[in-house]
Each structure stands twice: as structure tokens, then as C-alpha cells.
Amino acid sequence: MSLVSQIVVNSNLELVWKAWTEADRLSEWFAPEVLVELKEGGKYELYFDPSNKRSMSTAGCKILRIEAPHTLVFEWKGPDPFTEVMNKPANLTQIEVKLKALSDGTLVTICHSGWTESEPSQTARSWLLSLKSKLEAGQGILCCQ
């Protein structure tokens, strides 16, 4: 099962690609500390609390596929409350970021896959969807702020 979101970013494809793949740019908008090894099998780790890198982070996650500058696929972990559902090596979810140049910017499609039909997985998906709707409504603050 997958969750899919799309957004148009008013910026060129190359800059949007860098925002997803360069640690100094990722740390500006996603997490305060980031470790990216831009190669298949390389690290894709975001630390939402750099003082505790084992908690609320994607420590241990790897890049699964790169097709620069259009596709980036990496493993993902959720917040600590969902450790049993999606944060163990055997049940990591995956994020696929697809970029497409448009005349007025870049279309960003994000597909979050690897969800199961289990009740804990459904609870985690519900939390993620509620976070998405709150952010789209202008409510709430991104987790890394």
C-alpha cells in the first residue's frame, strides 16, 4: 500500500534535486542534521534531534535507487511511537521522490510505500495523513522546526 502526494515547486529541476540530495540543503528544510552519501546503498540519514541520533531519526536508512535528476528512492523510518511498525530493518518503508520539469517549476511526486494491512500500520498511516492535512491547512509545524 502506498501514500502519494504531489506538489509544484516554483523552482527549476536542478535546484529541487539538490534540495533532496545535498546535506546542506536538506538541513535547511527537512532536518537540522543530515548525512547523505549520494550513491545506491549510501546513507540517507536525517536527525530531527541531533543530540540523540538514535531517536527520532532515519539512522541506518539507505538510498535504494538514483536516476539523477529525476528519481530518488530511499528507506524511511517513522516517529519513535511507530518503531514496531516501520522502524525495524525488516519493515522499513520506502520513499520515492520523482521530479518532472514544468514550464513554471518542478512537479514533485512523493510515493511512500511499504505499508501493510496490520492495525499498527493503519494507525501510523492515519497519523501521517492527519499530519499532511494539518500542514496543508496551514496548521502545525514541521517536525524538525
Given a cut of 90, whether residue 36 has pLDDT beyond it is: yes
Confidence of residue 72 (pLDDT cuts 50, 70, 90): very high
Q: Which residues pair with 94 in a beta bridge?
A: 75, 113
Higher pLDDT, 82 or 64: 64
Q: What backbone phi and psi angles, to 5 degrees, belong to 94?
A: -130, 145
The pLDDT tens digits for 74-105 are 998 877 777 777 777 877 889 999 999 999 99
Q: How many CB atoms lie within 10 A of CB 20?
A: 21
CA angle (108, 119, 141) in 5-degree steps: 45
Question: Which range scores top for mean pLDDT: 53-62, 66-75, 127-136?
Answer: 66-75
pTM (two decimals): 0.81
The pLDDT tens digits for 109-134 are 999 888 777 776 677 666 666 655 65
